[in-house]
Chain A
C-alpha cells in the first residue's frame, strides 16, 4: 500500500495538491474572481519553485483556455482551473480544445451563473458545458477531488481518447469545506500518471503538423464522428483507470457509486456533495424499513446510460436530483433527469421517474428534503402515478 499523509484540506487545496504532484508543463489561468483558491494556491507553488510549471497569468478565462490549447498543441501537459462565469467565458475555446483532441485537465468549482450575481454552488456552469466534448467527473468530497484529478490525467491522455477532462467539486460546500483526506507521496502520483509523451506536437520539427486547419463539408463530419467514437471508448478507460487507481492508492472508483441499492425499490440519483446528505438520510430510512437506495453519479460525460439502466433494474421509482435547470426543456427539468429519462426510455424500461431541482445559487438541501423525496417515491411506487414531473426542494412557494 502506498504511503500517504492525512491532511486537513478543503476541496480547492486538495485540487492544488494534486496539481502540484502532477507538475504540469503549463498552467494558464485567470487569477481573480471568479477564480478559486486552486489557482491562488498553485501559483504559490510556482513562486516557491515547488513545481516546474510555466504559469501564464492571462487577461480572461477565454484567454486561459486559448493559452491551454496552444500549450497542449505544442505537446505540453496542460492544466487550468475555473468556476462559474469563468467557465462560461471559456465556452468557445472549450469546444476547440475538445475537437482538437487536446488532453487538458481542468478542475471546475461548480458555482451559479449570473444573473442575479451569486457566487455559491450550483451546477449550471458545468452542465451548460455538457455538450462541449469534455469528459466530466463529479466529486463528492475533497478526497474525491484529489483522486479524480490524478485519474483525469491518465484518462485524458489515453491514446484511444485524447479528450479533455473537467473535474467538478461543489463550490464552497466542498471547495471551502475542510475535510480529513489522504495525500499520497509525490513519487507515487508521478509514477501513476507517468511521463507525458504527446502523440502530436507542434514542436516536433522533424514531423511538421498543421493543427486547426480549414475543414470543410467534405471532412468536418468525419472528424465529428471520430470525436463521438473517442467518447464511446471513454467509459471503459475511466473504469480501468479507476480500478488501477484503487490498486495503487487503496480507493477504487467506478462509473457511479451505489449505496443500499441491492434490494432497493426506490432510488435517488444525485451528483457531488449532496450525495452525503442523501446517504445519511437513506441510512436512517433503511433503519425504518424503507427500501430506498442512493446512486451517486461520478461520470456525467460520457453519460453511463446502459450501466445506469442495469443498476436501476427492479427499481420501481427513481428520483433524479438536479442542481441546475435546463430552461425551456420539457417542464424545464434538470439535465441529469433528461439523460436518465432518455436512457430508461431507449432501453424500454417503464420505471417511474421524477425530478427534484435543488440548491440553486447555494440554497441548502437538508435531510428533511430527502425524506420528502423518499416519501414521494413511495407514493409513486404504490400508485404508479407521478403527480408532478419536476419539483423544487427548499423553494418558497
Chain B
C-alpha cells in the first residue's frame, strides 16, 4: 500500500514544514527521463561530477566515486557533461564518449 497523503484536515497549516532537512525524503528521481551511467573501470575518481551535481546525487566513499543516488538524481546530465575522462567503448552503452553517459530512463 502506498502511503496515504494527508487530507486538508490533517496537513500542516499553510504548507509549513516542521522537520528540518526533510527534502531528502522527496523522491525527485521520478522526474528523470534520462539516467547517467558510469564506466567504473575507467573512472579516475576526479570527482568533478560530485563538485557539479546540483542535487548532491553522487555518492562518494573513502574519497572515491561509489554510485549515483537515483532516488534524488533528476537526470539533468551535468555530470556527463563535466566528466573529463574519455572512453572508446562504454561498459554500458558500448559507445565512444565519456566515462559518464546518459541513457534513456526506460532502457
Residue of A nearest to B11 (CB): A222
Chain A count of residues within 8 A CB distance of the other chain: 22
Q: Is the interface of A mostly helix, strand, loop or mixed?
A: loop
The docked-state distance in angstroms from the alpha carbon of A223 to that of B20 is 20
Count A/B pairs, Cβ under 8 Å.
45
Report the bound CA distance from A37 to B86 in whole Å: 71
Nearest neighbor of B18 in chain A, beta-carbon distance: A209
- The answer on a CB contact under 8 Å between A226 and B16 is no
Total residues of chain B contacting the partner, CB 8 A: 12
Contacting residues, chain B, for A100 (C-beta < 8 A): 14
Q: Smallest CB-CB separation from B15: which chain A residue? A: A215
Q: Decide: B8 and A222 in contact? CB cutoff 8 A.
A: yes
Chain B residues near A210 (CB, 8 Å)? 16-17, 20
Is residue B6 within 8 Å, beta carbon to beta carbon, of the partner chain? yes
The distance from the CB of A214 to the nearest CB of chain B, in whole angstroms, is: 8
Contacts of B11 in A (CB 8 A): 219, 222-223, 226
Asked if B41 is at the interface (CB within 8 A of a chain A CB), the reply is no
Q: Compute how far the CA of A393 lies from the CA of B43 in the bound complex, rounded to whole angstroms.
A: 82
Given contacts A219-B11, A223-B11, A226-B11, contact A211 B16 (CB under 8 A): yes
The answer to whether A213 touches B5 (Cβ under 8 A) is no
Q: Contact: B15 with A208, CB < 8 Å? A: no
Give 1 or 0 for each of A81-118: 1 = CB within 8 Å of chain B CB: 00000000000000000011100000000000000000
A213 is contacted by which of B6, B8, B13, B15 (Cβ under 8 Å)? B15
Give bound CA distance, A207 to B13, whole Å. Answer: 15
Q: Is A262 an interface residue (CB 8 A)?
A: no
Asked if B14 contacts A226 (CB within 8 A), the reply is: yes
For window 13-69 of B, CB contacts with A under 8 Å fall at: 13-18, 20
Are B8 and A225 within 8 A (Cβ)?
A: yes
Complex Cα distance, B7 from A212, in Å, reads 19
Least Cβ–Cβ distance between A339 and chain B, in angstroms: 25
- Point out residues on A near B: beta carbons under 8 Å: 99-101, 162, 200, 207-213, 215, 218-223, 225-226, 229
Measured CB to CB, the residues of B under 8 A from A are 5-8, 11, 13-18, 20
Task: Sample 12 A-B pairs with CB under 8 A, ordered by A number.
Answer: A100-B14, A101-B13, A101-B14, A207-B18, A208-B20, A210-B17, A213-B17, A220-B15, A222-B11, A223-B14, A223-B15, A226-B11
Q: Which 6 A-B pairs have the closest CB atoms?
A: A210-B17, A222-B8, A225-B8, A215-B15, A101-B14, A208-B20
